[in-house]
Amino acid sequence: MTTPATTDALKSSRLAILGYGSQGRAHALNLHESGLDVIVGVRKGGPSWEKAQADGLRVAEPAEAVKQADLVAVLTPDMVQPALYHEAIAPYLKPNAALLFAHGFNVHFDQIQPRADIDVILVAPKGPGALVRREYEKGHGVPCLYAIHQDASGEARAKVLAYAAGIGGARAMLIETEFAEETETDLFGEQAVLCGGATELVLQGFETLVEAGYKPEVAYYECLHELKLIVDLLHEGGLAKMHQFVSETAQYGDLTRGPRVVNDETRSRMREVLAEIRDGRFAKEWVDEYKAGNGNYRAMKERDLAHPIEQVGATLRARMPWLAPAGG
């Protein structure tokens, strides 16, 4: 599971990082500080251009950065990538160069069909860019998935492992996967558990208590605010640590009532969600929504943010200044 890796395979290469958001900035700075030759490809005059320059990195327009590069990391949002590939990458990328992604969505669902003469690889840190950067600065790293979709040069494996080492992943753990596995499990986790599942469970719990006559403020604390306490325990030590640090009453309620709320019907719905991911229905729906201007997406998001739990939460969080990040 863990693969020894160094940056040696990229020591004489130039790396173009396209995009300077959360992951882009973390990757670019970590690679630069690992002694690799980095150039950031962003729109000239924009805030990302100025930010990368202020961070001490070389910058260029995306197409110009690609022309100079032996490896191009595409770290822009998923829906922007196909146009970026056709306009600024495919016409300019060198033969046998590497094209790297941090999420396999566009390659796996054929939104991008890479040229046959390039390496196509993936390095997906299992954490947000801020964490990737913060752990690197501490001398640590964030575990990464890596995959090889296309090996035109015969050196794709060496390149992908060197890149993962350069951003700090080899300090923690490198796990080999495939584009399909990374993409499908990532989407499923977001939809069924981490974002869709968890937030919907919170909202339904809040609404159940409020409908039964309990104060919204009390419902907020019980169903949303205290969720972090449980997640932190799970994150740090799995189910064992959670059971260790909650009361026996909570444990008994967990073991006897939890399966009544999340049950075989829930599992059946999860299987449906996974099937829609695997056969491409979700990808098509999302791509079509984006191309149509995101009207439905925006409306659904506005309804979500207008939920009463948001108004209650804003009032309560204003009285808990310790929740704000330091300096924020």
Q: Establish whether 186 is an annotated binding residue.
A: yes
Q: Is 22 annotated as a binding residue?
A: yes
Q: Distance between CA 268 and CA 271 in Å, rounded?
A: 5
Residue 244 annotated as binding site: no
To the query of whether residue 140 is one of the catalytic residues in this protein, the response is no
The answer to the question of whether 247 is labelled as a binding residue is: yes
Q: Which residues contact 197 (CB under 8 A, 6 or more apart)?
A: 191
Determine contact, residues 64/41, Cβ cutoff 8 Å: yes
Q: Is 190 annotated as a binding residue?
A: yes
Q: Does the annotation flag 271 for ligand binding? A: no
Measure the N-to-C terminal CA separation of the chain; round to a whole number of Å: 38
Tell me the C-alpha distance between 279 and 79, whole Å.
Answer: 19
Q: Per the annotation, does 129 bind a ligand? A: yes
Catalytic residue among 27, 32, 103, 108: 103
Q: Are strands 119-125 and 144-150 parallel, antiparallel or unpaired?
A: antiparallel
222 carries a ligand binding annotation: yes
Rg of the chain in Å (alpha carbons): 22
Among candidates 176, 170, 179, 201, which has minimal Cα distance to 269?
Answer: 201
For residue 43, say whether it is annotated as part of any ligand binding site: yes
| Phi, psi torsion values for 177, nearest 5 degrees | -145, -165
205 is in an annotated binding site: no
Which residues participate in catalysis according to the annotation?
103
- Residues annotated within a binding site for substrate: 247
Q: Which residues are annotated as a binding site for NADP(+)?
A: 20-23, 43, 48, 129
Residue ranges for the known binding site for Mg(2+) are: 186, 190, 222, 226
Residues in the annotated binding site: 20-23, 43, 48, 129, 186, 190, 222, 226, 247
